[in-house]
């Protein structure tokens, strides 16, 4: 291998590699995000009949048979491309649009997992739903970087007694 | 695995599972404490998470232990 080839390889590693990384993480990240959103929309449609509310009391005419705590959580991270964009945005301030879909899908996924937890145990409704966000510190010590964001949804799942079924047919 | 996922984005399933297990453990300890005090239910349960150091997190569950009659 002569000097010129080594020089070219050096140039490639120096300039092309970061661009390639940005491009590939952008493409893969976008595909993963699109798939995730379509899965979320589908599952939201599937469980739309179940009442999931943030009230801490039940309507007076509903009777609870059994109740328990249900939770759903997800740890999610931004792709490299979006992280770079967000970093640039943070220099000038303003709305960081690349973070918004991340938090949106994390929150909806957490709520969906909570609902699926309730449904799998045969509950009819979830009351007093609360959402919580926390940042996870990185485990390989890269300064103040963040491994991911954890979204937690929890609430009180309730089995309705005396055959009361909530729905549009009850007015 | 989480390192690669950190580049392409998306769910870090390993972390999700880790935190779920820890939260379950925290909830179990809370229930155990309530039981030792003679309660038979815990109401108004809340969770808290804090990043206390690089690679370490605290999961905390708290609630009001009551005796339902």
pLDDT over threshold 80, residue A143: no
User: Does B6 lie at the interface with A, CB-CB under 8 angstroms?
Assistant: yes
C-alpha–C-alpha distance, residues A125 and A156, integer Å: 8
Mean pLDDT by groups of 10 residues along chain B of 69 residues: 73 90 95 94 91 81 91
Interchain contact, A80 vs B51, CB within 8 Å: no
- For residue A82, list chain B residues with Cβ-Cβ distance below 8 A: 9
Q: Does residue A78 contact residue A86 with C-beta atoms inside 8 Å?
A: yes
Angstrom distance (rounded) from CA A29 to CA A98: 12
Contact of B57 with B49, CB cutoff 8 Å: yes
Which residues 6+ apart lie within 8 Å of B16 measured at CB? A73, A74, A75, A150
| Residue B10 at interface with chain A, using a CB cutoff of 8 Å | yes
Residue of B9, B15, B23 with shortest CB distance to A147: B15
CA distances from A102 to A2, A27, A124, B5 (A): 47, 16, 29, 14
CB contact under 8 A, A154 and B45: yes
- Mean pLDDT over residues A9-13, rounded? 81
B16, B47, B54 ranked by CB distance to A137: nearest: B54
Q: 3-class DSSP state for residue A155?
A: strand
Residue A59, pLDDT above cutoff 90? no
Nearest residue in A to B41, CA atom? A68
Q: How far is A25 from chain B (nearest CA, A)?
A: 5
Are the beta carbons of B27 and A69 separated by less than 8 Å? yes
pLDDT for residue A138 is more than 70:
no
Cα–Cα distance measured from residue A128 to residue A109, given in angstroms and rounded to the nearest whole number: 18
pLDDT of residue A137: 67
What region, left, alpha or beta, does residue A162 occupy, with left being phi > 0 and alpha being psi -120 to 50 degrees? Answer: left
CA distances from B67 to A39, A128, A157, B37 (A): 42, 21, 20, 10
Name the residue with tokens 């490639």: A12
Query: 0.80 cut: is pTM over it?
Result: yes
Contact A28 B54 (CB under 8 A): no
Q: Say yes or no for a CB contact (<8 Å) between B11 and A75.
A: yes
**Interface confidence (ipTM) of the complex:** 0.84
Check CB contact under 8 Å for B10 and A76. yes
Sheet bearing A64-77, strands edge to edge: A125-137, A146-160, A64-77, B10-11
Cβ of B20 under 8 Å from any chain A Cβ?
yes
Is pLDDT above 80 for A1? no
Do A82 and B9 count as a contact with CB atoms less than 8 A apart?
yes
pLDDT over threshold 60, residue A51: yes
For residue B48, the chain A residue with the least C-alpha distance is A132
Mean pLDDT of A100-117: 95
């Amino acid at each position: 291998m002569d000097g010129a080839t080594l020089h070219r390889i050096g140039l490639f590693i120096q300039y092309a590699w970061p661009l390639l990384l940005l491009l590939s993480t952008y493409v893969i990240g976008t595909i993963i995000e699109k798939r995730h959103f379509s899965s979320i929309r589908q599952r939201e449609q599937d469980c739309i009949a179940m009442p999931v509310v943030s009230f801490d009391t039940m309507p007076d005419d509903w009777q609870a048979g059994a109740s328990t705590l249900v939770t759903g959580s997800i740890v999610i991270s931004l792709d490299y491309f979006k992280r770079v964009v967000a970093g640039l945005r943070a220099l000038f301030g303003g709305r960081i649009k690349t973070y918004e879909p991340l938090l949106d899908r994390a929150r909806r996924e957490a709520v969906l997992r909570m609902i699926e937890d309730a449904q799998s145990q045969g509950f009819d409704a979830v009351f007093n739903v609360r959402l919580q966000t926390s940042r996870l510190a990185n485990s390989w010590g890269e300064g103040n970087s963040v491994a991911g964001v954890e979204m937690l949804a929890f609430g009180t799942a309730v089995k309705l007694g005396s055959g009361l079924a909530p729905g549009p047919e009850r007015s | 695995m989480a390192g690669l996922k950190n580049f392409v984005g998306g769910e870090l399933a390993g972390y999700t599972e880790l935190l779920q297990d820890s939260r379950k453990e925290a909830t179990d300890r809370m229930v155990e404490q309530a039981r030792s005090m003679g309660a038979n239910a815990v109401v108004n349960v809340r969770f808290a998470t804090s990043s206390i150091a690089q690679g370490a997190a605290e999961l905390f569950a708290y609630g009001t232990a009551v005796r339902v009659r």
